[in-house]
Structures are given as C-alpha cells and as structure tokens.
Amino acid sequence: MKTKQKKGRRNKAMNSITMFAILVTVVLFASCEKKKDKYEKIKEPFELSANIPVDVNPELQERLKKEGDIYQLNEVFNQNSWKTFVAVFWPRDKEGKAKPNFTDEGKATWLGWKEAFQVYRKDGGVPAPWESPREKTGYKNLTASMLEESTVRVYLSSETPTHKIRSKNVADETDQAFAGKLFDQNGNEVYYEVLMNKEEFDYVVKNKLYNINGQIAFSKNGAIANFPAGNYKKDSLGAVEIKFAWKILNDTDHKERYYRNWGYVFDASGNLVKKELGMIGFHISQKTPTGKQWVWSTFEHIDNLDQNVVEKEGKKTIIHPSLTDPECEICPVNVDVTNGGTTFTHNTGVHGDYWTISGDTTDKYFANSEVMKTQAKRMVDIPIRVQQINKKMQAYFKSQKSVFQYYQLIDTQYPLNQNAVPDSHTEEGYKLPGSVTNKSGGEPNIALLTNITMETFFQGGNQSASNLMEANPASDITVFGTESCIGCHSSAGIYNGVSNGQFTTADQLSGDFSWLLSQKAEWDAKIPKSNAYELDTQK
C-alpha cells in the first residue's frame, strides 16, 4: 500500500515536472518568437512620411555650424536625403492622396510629376496643364496607348540638336551629361529620364522658360532664373528635380532586387519597343530656403559595382555587378566610347583584343569581349558615415520586405554658406583649392560628388585643375577630381540671345542650377527660325 502511494506521489510529481517543463518551453518559445517578431519589425530609424521635407531645420543648421560639428550636420542632411527619397516613392491612391503606409499598394508620388520632355516640348510649344494627359508632349512618334500602358516613360529622340550650347555636347536620354553612353554588363545602353515637381513646373510655365524664345525674352533685361526655394515656417516646398538611371532587365538579372517598371525605348532600328527596366541610379536636387545652390542627394543600386551573395534553398550565388567586371582586372575603366558621336570598333591583335575609338589615334583599349561593356570604377568611396545610415535604412526596408533594401545613398552635397560667392576662375586670378572646391559659391560641405550611373566619365582622378574650374582657365597644376553636383550645375545657363547664327546662353548661375533650361528648350516651331537672327545684335 505504501509502495503504491509512493508510486502515485512520484508519478504525480513527474507529471508536475513535465507540465512545468512544457510550460517553461512554451513560455521560452513564445518569448523567442516575440523577440524574433520584434527583430523582424524594425522601427524606422527616423520619422518617414509622404511629405518631402522643405529643408533641414535652419536653427539646427546654425547651431551645428557654430559648434563646428559638420559631421553631425552631414548626418542630419543624409537623414533628410533618405526622407526625401521615401517621400518621392510614397504610394498614392487614384485621387493622388497619400496612402497610410510606405509599403501600401499605390502609384508612386513621382509618377504624378512632369517629365522634362512634357515641359520642354520638342516643338517648343506651351506645356499642357499639370493635370493634362501625358500624350501632349510634342513628340510625333508617341501614341496615347503607349503612354497609358507604360508607367516609366523613357523616350529617346532620334533628332539631332539644331543648336549648340557653348560648343558643349548636349545630353539626351541615352547620353550622360556632356558625355556618351554607359553600357551595362549585358551590353545594353543605360537610359535616363528627368522629372520635376509642380513648384518647378509652375515657375517655368509662368515665366515662359519652356522654349528658347521665352528664355531670350525673359533675360532681355539681364534677368536670370530663380526657382522657388520654399518656406520652412510655412511648410511650403520649393523646386525639386529628380533623375533616374534605368537598365534593361534581362532574364539573367536578379529582377526581384530592382525597383522596376515598364518603358518604351528606341531600338537600333529606331522603333519604339517595350522593355522591363530596373532602377540603378536616382538623383534628387532640391532648392531650399537655406540652399540657393540646391541640396543634392544621389542614390545607387548596391549591385552596380559590388559583388553580393544571394541564397535560395540553401544554395549561394554570387551576383555579377551590373556596371563592372570584377574578373577583368586589366580592363580600362570609365572609357567613354561615344562622346560627341564617336564610334568604337572591336579588333583582334597579336597581343590581345582591343577597342579603338574614332578620332582617337593614340590609344588601343584592351577588350575581353566583343560586346561593349563599360568598366565603371568609383574614384571616391562612399564615406563610413554614409555607410552607417545606409545599413540602418536597408535593415528597415528589409524588415518591411521592400525592394529599397538594395539601394544606397552615395552622399549629400549642400552649401554651408549660401551667400558665399564663387571663387575666381580667371587664368590670372584663380587660386586653389577655392577655385575648385567653391566653384559654385555657397562653400559646399564636400567638394566632390558623382553618381556612377550618371557621371561615369567624370571619374577621371588626377587631372588638370582647369577641368574642374568654371570657364576652364589654363592651369599647369594637377589635382584629383571627379566633378560635383553643385559645381557642374552652377555652370547651367539660360538662353539670352543669338550670336553668329547660334543661340547663346548667359554666364554661370544664370540657369539657377538647372541644366534643363539650356539642354532641353527648343525654338517655338510656330515662329520661323529665321526670325531668331533678327535678335542677333552681337554680330
């Protein structure tokens, strides 16, 4: 009897221990699950919203400048860049109202903006109102159905520019600014498109700056462009321009890693063909109350230059970078083969295959393929401070299962003193470093900033200081440089007349940092071009 009682007590105790163990296991498992859930749902690193920030708080800027804490000032500007990035891509409903969450289904904010070709029409005509359909563009070869079924509008003009801008090459949607084409590792051209917000659109239309005629009339009394800068206290936004770099996505590409859409592009035969495109570069320029030199934020896809690893079903695969070949260690980098209409030819030689470029009689460029592929190389590394904020944003996007986990900020350029004038750029008066680092005026926080997808061929490294100064005064001093957003765009001008049968543009700063004015504007087709020569008072 005692034995049975002992057994009963022992079984009861064992059952209690078992139940306790199960309970502890469940609690621990639940605890782990909670921790796991908490880890997976990462909180946004800083407040993100559908509203583009008007500016970095001016009072905070002044305090950090007085304290000499430029590192922290760069931090808040980089946060501002990411906030703007998110706001530009924020989803909206059919009425244009922002959806509650960034990850909601909806039409991205930027798709409601105007593309450059809609504003600076090929026929020089008046842009259609902001709310009008996209087919009113001045392009004869675009149909309404094409515009409706394609959400990314990358259209390339086969027309040759009929005017010159300071004898510089005019950029279009396949050529980079003042350079030629960028070819990805599939041998495809990279495509570009530029859009503007309503604030910039309204300014251009109001002042009739959308064609050459209007710009000449506007600048008759010395007027220069002055886009709206916004008002921080009133939360009123200023002018914003954005620029995309798109690559054609092939079946071999990891499409799930790209922000992608459809667009029509011209093929080699001049026909419009529909292609799936992946965003590899994204650029934001914004005029702010404290930045009359504008604030420049530039982003890229992480697979552009770096090898990354993906794992599926336990199998790891190395992703081949889209803009460089890590297996070709001796391939020449950043070679522009189509600048100004030059052509390239593949050759087979006894010492190895090579490319030749028309007009370039001195160089043979080593080739490891019969297909032209640009070997891109970044000359200025992404700073550690920027890499740190990128990791935070990428982790957040990953927790939200957003494709933007595969994108990175390169850096942000902004003026430290917007009222500082540009340093001298005359041959007799230039003085380094200011004539390069403060070419634009405003004393930028960093001297060099480029995007590998949009300014590949500015990655020159050691070069004459002349190349990086306004008006390119003769210089026998070598510096390191890659150009910069602010520096380059400070040279943008506005049309102001005719000289020797060519339209002329006013001096540096007259275009208020927007190259669209001189790159995209055309003569009004309704007015005979011969009338333009009557304006030629400089002969």
C-alpha distance from residue 522 to each of 116, 120, 141, 209 (Å) = 12, 7, 18, 10
Per residue in 395-421, pLDDT (tens digit) is 999 999 999 999 999 999 999 999 999
For residue 48, is it left (φ>0), alpha (ψ between -120 and 50) or beta? beta
Length of the chain: 539
Per residue in 45-69, pLDDT (tens digit) is 999 999 999 999 999 999 999 999 9
DSSP string, 176-224: PTTS-B-B-TTSPBPEEEEEE-HHHHHHHHHTT-SBHHHHHHHTTTS--
Per residue in 520-538, pLDDT (tens digit) is 999 999 998 777 666 665 4
Q: Is the pLDDT of residue 163 over 80?
A: no
Q: Name the residue among 240, 225, 249 with its Cα closest to residue 283.
A: 240
The partner residues of 366 in beta bridges, in order of sequence, read 354
Contact predicate 287/229, CB 8 Å: yes
Per residue in 288-339, pLDDT (tens digit) is 999 999 999 999 999 999 999 988 788 899 999 999 999 999 999 999 999 9
Per residue in 436-478, pLDDT (tens digit) is 999 999 999 999 999 999 999 999 999 999 999 999 999 999 9
Per residue in 196-232, pLDDT (tens digit) is 999 999 999 999 999 999 999 999 989 999 999 999 9
Residues 6+ apart with CB under 8 A from 375: 324, 325, 328, 331, 332, 333, 334, 335
C-alpha distance from residue 21 to each of 24, 25, 39, 524 (Å) = 5, 6, 26, 84
- Preceding peptide of 45 cis, ω within 30°: no
pTM of the model: 0.86
Per residue in 67-101, pLDDT (tens digit) is 999 999 999 999 999 999 999 999 999 999 999 99
Give 38-41 contacts, CB < 8 A, sequence gap 24+. 40/399, 41/399
Q: What is the pLDDT of residue 271?
A: 80
End-to-end CA distance of the chain: 127
Beta-strand ranges (E) seen in 358-406 are 365-366
In this structure, what DSSP letter does residue 497 have? Answer: E
Q: How far is residue 46's CA from residue 39's CA, in Å, rounded to a whole number?
A: 17
The dihedral over CA atoms of 181, 117, 301, 322, expressed in degrees to the nearest 10, equals -30
Q: What is the pLDDT of residue 533?
A: 63
Q: How far is residue 229's CA from residue 289's CA, in Å, rounded to a whole number?
A: 5
Tell me what the pLDDT averaged over the chain comes to. Answer: 87
Contact predicate 114/196, CB 8 Å: yes
Q: Is the pLDDT of residue 150 over 60?
A: no
Q: Is the pLDDT of residue 136 over 60?
A: no
